[in-house]
Amino acid sequence: MKAREILAVLLLGVSGLTKADEGMWMLNKIDEQTAQAMKELGLELTPRELYNPDGVSLKDAVVDFGDFCSGVVVSPKGLVFTNHHCGYGAIQKLSTPEDDILKNGFVARSYEEERPAEGLFVRFLQRTEECSSRVMRALDEVYRTHPQTPTAVLDRQYTDSICRVVEREYSKANPGLDCQVKSYYGGNAFYVSIYKVYRDVRLVFTATETLGKFGGDTDNWMWPRQTCDFSVFRIYADKDGEPAEYSKDNVPLKAKRYARVCLDGFRPGDYCMTVGYPGSTSRYLSSYGINERVNGTNISMIDVRGKKQDVWKKWMDSDRAIAIKYASKFASSSNYWKNSIGMNKAVKELNVIGQKQQLEQDIRRWYGKDQGLTARFGTMFDELEKAYANRYEAIRAYGFFSETFLRGIEIRRVAATAASKPTNMDSTETELAREQAKAFFKDYDARVDEETMAVLLDNYRKQVKPEYLPSIYKDIDKRFKGDTKAYARDLFSHTVMTDISCVDKFIADSTLRDTDPLFKYNESVRDMQTTLYNKIRDDRQTIDYNEHLLTQAILEREQETAHYSDANFSLRLSYGFIQDYTAGSQHFDYFTPSQSLLDKAAKQGEIEDYKLEQDIISLIQQKDFGRYADPSDGDLHLCFLSNNDITGGNSGSPMFNGKGELIGLAFDGNWEAMSGDITFNPDLQRCIGVDIRFVLYLIDKWGHADRLIREMGL
């Protein structure tokens, strides 16, 4: 069967209804059945009011925030709400020990005081179009002209390049817009998303770090929560409202659509939907793939990041300047470190692998009844089992390698950058290298990295077989008698690559490539990376292709049931309702009251993550919540739960009620369902959001930002 014929079969059942609380649905694929289900739950908007590529709709209020989070426009003048942890990197970059806005918070009292966040951008989706037939025709031509080439290699080798060609075609037809072609349903369908990108984004408001990160690692991925996880930015444009690089002449964007905030509150069972950019899920992944992720990738992340973070935290606790430099990096590292711990726990307790194995047995019986289906799918499970087993040791080693040398020890990146640049002191490429070095060293401390290197090199040796040790270990054993601390001290003492002058020093002295110990280290790491890549390459191609076939089989076997595609950081909608949950013998309410914040703050002497400034404590104790109080009890509700389906990237996603009004910002999931990236558990899986009334209360009563309150029409 040709690629486009398979596609026609698969797409018969991907646009309808499954469960109200499960699914990351494309806004341009909402059919009548799904629309009716949302209406019955309480949605008052039509599909056209959610997504209208030819007019104005709710999608025009939602932004891709920096290509790593989501956000929402909340005023006619381009004001954007997102999570504090999404704005964290920008806030950290704007902080210094003398002007520590990360710690103290920041309120711009005028447009002039709003601070440019260098490098930050937002994207507005203009429209999404299916281009599957265009890609599939090209793949059919490849199959026709290369009949002897294994399909697994073809799929890997050509699909990405075909997508890039299609992107260029769309970019030519849409000048000034960003066009992205992505695969959906495991490479069984393709869509192009067309964006308008604004690159002048400025910080307007952030609360203190203690509020924006309240609970820290202690509460991360947990419920109940009291974190006021929000920050406020503004989009600027040229005088015509078009995207422009930063300029003092730019003006606040006149928003095409913005979300009105709602102060009315909500109850269990009330309609709730998130609209945002979920990053990545693997819900079609085979049981073999889940086993590899749990026992290979996650184990290495848990082990190495735990040790790295121990070193970093020791230095951060002793020096505020280092704490500022490493704040964003530590938060990013620890977030998925704890995610991996929770995922492994949930996969085991919920028997996720066993459930997937049962599904695979059902699929075997299904295709076994049909000769044509057996011809297509009959070998895929055997191929998957064999390929995953073949690469298990290498993929596990690569996990430890990546976490140690690519994400752990930082200084290698300086050598890699310098080594790839030309020797011309005045070239554009060299100037770019200088800028990269400047950005790197702003958030770097060589003392921290030297200790990290010693700890991680020692740990890596203990975790992998000798064949996976980079050649530098021979030097460590011979010259330093296996002492990684002595090796790290020697390397950092003799390399010139420890400050922003390194690029110019490297260009001025061509012998450094042969004499500087960091370059020898970098070459050793690069060589082992190539070795590991080659060990897993062939099996990866087999795995990619057969996982692609497995997705086909699932979709084709269940044609009468709707299936959403795995998340791929494209705009999605999840709908459901406000809902509490019970785990084991413990019941969790759907919201957290103001007193719960004070109760945790009272423990700050024993739990550092519960530290809170006295002025904030006093403010909450006054209980002067005014119009931000919930009408049911007169209290300030802090955070809340819905059964919306989210994952990483959804952070900052607006949470809307049935009228399309903003009631909160999604920022986390709950511990009991940390296997959510692999499978959805409707009884346990919840989306945690910060109540928009908590956000507005802080903006108003703590920040005294009256101009922002007025700007939002309040």
How far is Cα 666 from Cα 646, in angstroms, rounded to an integer?
Answer: 8
How far is Cα 575 from Cα 646, in angstroms, rounded to an integer?
Answer: 10
How far is Cα 328 from Cα 85, in angstroms, rounded to an integer?
Answer: 8
Which of left, alpha, beta for 192 (phi over 0: left; psi -120 to 50: alpha)?
Answer: beta
552: Cβ contacts below 8 Å, ≥ 6 apart: 6, 10, 186, 188, 376, 377
Bridge partners of residue 588, in order along the sequence: 581
428: Cβ contacts below 8 Å, ≥ 6 apart: none
Amino acid letter, residue 320:
R
Give the residue from 580, 588, 308, 608 showing the smallest Cα distance to 448.
308
Quote the distance between the C-alpha of residue 325 and its chain's center.
21
Question: What stretch of H or E contains 107?
Answer: strand 106-107
How far is Cα 409 from Cα 411, in angstroms, rounded to an integer?
Answer: 6
**SS3 annotation, 352-372:** HHHHHHHHHHHHHHHHHCCHH
DSSP string for residues in 174-218: STTSEEEEEEETTTTEEEEEEEEEE-EEEEEEE--HHHHTTTHHH
| Residue corresponding to tokens 């191609």 | 541
> What separation in angstroms does the CA of 288 have from each of 299, 354, 523, 685?
16, 11, 34, 23
> Do residues 136 and 4 make contact, with C-beta atoms less than 8 angstroms apart?
yes
How far is Cα 86 from Cα 648, in angstroms, rounded to an integer?
Answer: 11
> Do residues 547 and 286 make contact, with C-beta atoms less than 8 angstroms apart?
yes
How far is Cα 298 from Cα 302, in angstroms, rounded to an integer?
Answer: 6
What three-state secondary structure class fits 656? strand
Judge whether 31 counts as a catalytic residue: no
What three-state secondary structure class fits 17? coil
Largest CA distance in the chain: 76
How far is Cα 101 from Cα 109, in angstroms, rounded to an integer?
Answer: 15
Catalytic site residue from 21, 155, 200, 229: 229
Amino acid letter, residue 554:
I
Spell 348-367 as b/e; 16+ CB within 10 A means b: eebebbebbbeebeebeebb
Amino acid letter, residue 226:
Q
Judge whether 85 counts as a catalytic residue: yes
How far is Cα 425 from Cα 418, in angstroms, rounded to an integer?
Answer: 12
Structure tokens at 82: 């997102």
Question: What stretch of H or E contains 128?
Answer: strand 122-130
Catalytic site residue from 651, 653, 668, 677: 651
10: Cβ contacts below 8 Å, ≥ 6 apart: 185, 188, 189, 552, 555, 556
Counting beta carbons within 10 angstroms of the beta carbon of residue 210, is it exposed (0 to 12), middle (13 to 18) or buried (19 or more)?
buried
- Say if residue 224 is preceded by a cis peptide, omega within 30 of 0: yes
Question: Which letter does DSSP use for residue 561 in this model?
Answer: S
Q: How many residues can be counted in the chain? A: 714
Structure tokens at 595: 């007193």
Catalytic site residue from 15, 21, 84, 85: 85
> Do residues 94 and 117 make contact, with C-beta atoms less than 8 angstroms apart?
yes
CA angle at 228 for the pair 224 and 229, rounded to the nearest 5°: 100
How far is Cα 298 from Cα 423, in angstroms, rounded to an integer?
Answer: 41
Catalytically annotated residues: 85, 229, 651
